[in-house]
């Protein structure tokens, strides 16, 4: 097994493990400085068997290998995805993050400013997280592929009513021509939802991550047989 393969299996293993152990090691609300150690006594048992041994402080050493995912680029399997998947069952962002209304939302270590959510934003961020952690919607599908908030929304924390531009979706799912090809109906080529008589439309017209998706065509063409993931 080469090095890359070891890392990959380690990542996957971590996801599984973190999901499994998040609760029984939960403790008091952590201090800003020792955010992980406030709950976790040791880390070895959280990691897959093949994971290289840990040298330093847990978080910094994770980041040596796992990209943080606070990035403008869409990433999968980044550290942020792994850590959030591991804490899926926690409903409260502020167990780990710090937040000052309309002024900051931070990781425990300073300098990671992720936006300035309002109280209202926070309410929807929690709901959005819930849909990501566990729902029949596309966000959950993204979670299962270790794509976290930044994977779709970019560096800053998505605020209420944030949307995702086509470009961002297409970075992973594109190019558009590929989608057109894949969704071309066998029977009637002109009933292709990715190349319709409405011209270029937003992906989010039909595909929604945090709530129900909807085949927009059916708003008029009631008798079309069209199904998409995350829709009724």
Partner 1 sequence: MGNQDGDGKKSFTRRDFLKATGGAMAVAGITTGGLAFASGKAGTAELPKKWDETVDVLIIGSGFAGLSAACEASKAGAKVVVLEKMPTYGGNSIINGGVYAASDSKLKLRKKLNLGEDSVDLHTEDTLKGGDRYNFPELVEILAKGSPEALNWMIEEAGVELRDALTRAGGHSAYRTHTVTAGIGYGFTDPLRKLAESRGVEIRLGSEVTRIWRKDPESPVSGVTVKRGRRESDIAVSRALVLASGGFSRDVKMRQMFNPSIVPEFNTTNQPGATGEMIRFAQAIGADTLQLNFIQLYPFAEPETGILDTPAVYPFNGVGYGMIYVSKEGKRFVNELERRDVCSFAQIKLGLKPTYSIFNEAMVLKMGGSAKEVEDGMAKGRFVRADSISELAAKTGLPAGPLQETVDKYNQYLKDKNDPDFKKPITDSMIPLQEGPFYAVAQWPAVHHCMGGLRINKDTQVIDIWGKPIPRFYAAGEVTGGIHGSNRLGSNAIPDCIVFGRIAGTNAAKEKPAA
Q: Which residues bind partner 1 (CB under 8 A)?
A: 102, 118-120, 123-124, 160-161, 187-188, 190, 197-199, 201-202, 204-205, 216, 219-223
Q: Which two tokens stand for residue 192?
A: 């292709």
- Tell the smallest beta-carbon distance from residue 165 to partner 1 (Å): 13
- Tell the smallest beta-carbon distance from residue 185 to partner 1 (Å): 11
- Tell the smallest beta-carbon distance from residue 232 to partner 1 (Å): 16
Cα 127 from Cα 121, distance rounded (Å): 10
- Tell the smallest beta-carbon distance from residue 130 to partner 1 (Å): 16
State the Rg of the chain over Cα. 20
Cα 69 from Cα 212, distance rounded (Å): 26
- Which residue, 57 or 120, has its beta carbon nearer to partner 1? 120
Residue 10 in contact with residue 3, Cβ under 8 Å? Answer: no
- Tell the smallest beta-carbon distance from residue 122 to partner 1 (Å): 10
Cα 139 from Cα 51, distance rounded (Å): 28
Cα 98 from Cα 112, distance rounded (Å): 11
- Which residue, 9 or 166, has its beta carbon nearer to partner 1? 166
**Closest C-alpha among 168, 141, 136 to residue 152:** 168
- Which residue, 86 or 154, has its beta carbon nearer to partner 1? 154
3-state helix, strand, coil in the chain (%, to 5): 40, 5, 55
- Which helix (DSSP H) or strand (DSSP E) does residue 104 occupy? strand 104-106
- Which residue, 160 or 172, has its beta carbon nearer to partner 1? 160
- Which residue, 123 or 145, has its beta carbon nearer to partner 1? 123
């Amino acid at each position: 097994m080469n090095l890359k393969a070891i890392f990959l299996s380690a990542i996957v293993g971590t996801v599984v493990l973190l999901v499994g152990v998040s609760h029984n090691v939960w403790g008091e609300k952590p201090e800003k400085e020792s955010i992980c150690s406030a709950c976790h006594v040791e880390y070895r048992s959280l990691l897959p068997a093949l994971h290289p041994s840990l040298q330093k402080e847990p978080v910094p050493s994770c980041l040596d290998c796992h990209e943080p995912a606070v990035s403008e680029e869409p990433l999968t399997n980044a550290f942020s995805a792994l850590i959030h998947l591991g804490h899926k069952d926690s409903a409260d962002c502020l167990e780990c993050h710090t937040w000052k209304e309309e002024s900051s939302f931070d990781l425990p270590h300073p300098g990671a400013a992720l936006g300035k959510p309002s109280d209202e934003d926070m309410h929807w961020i929690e709901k959005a997280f819930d849909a990501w952690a566990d729902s029949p919607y596309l966000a959950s599908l993204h979670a299962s592929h270790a794509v976290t908030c930044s994977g779709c929304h970019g560096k800053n924390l998505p605020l209420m009513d944030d949307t995702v531009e086509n470009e961002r979706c297409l970075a992973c799912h594109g190019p558009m021509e590929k989608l057109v090809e894949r969704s071309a109906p066998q029977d009637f080529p002109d009933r292709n939802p990715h190349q319709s008589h409405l011209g270029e439309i937003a992906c989010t017209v039909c595909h929604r991550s945090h709530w129900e998706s909807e085949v927009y065509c059916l708003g008029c063409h009631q008798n079309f047989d069209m199904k998409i993931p995350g829709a009724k």
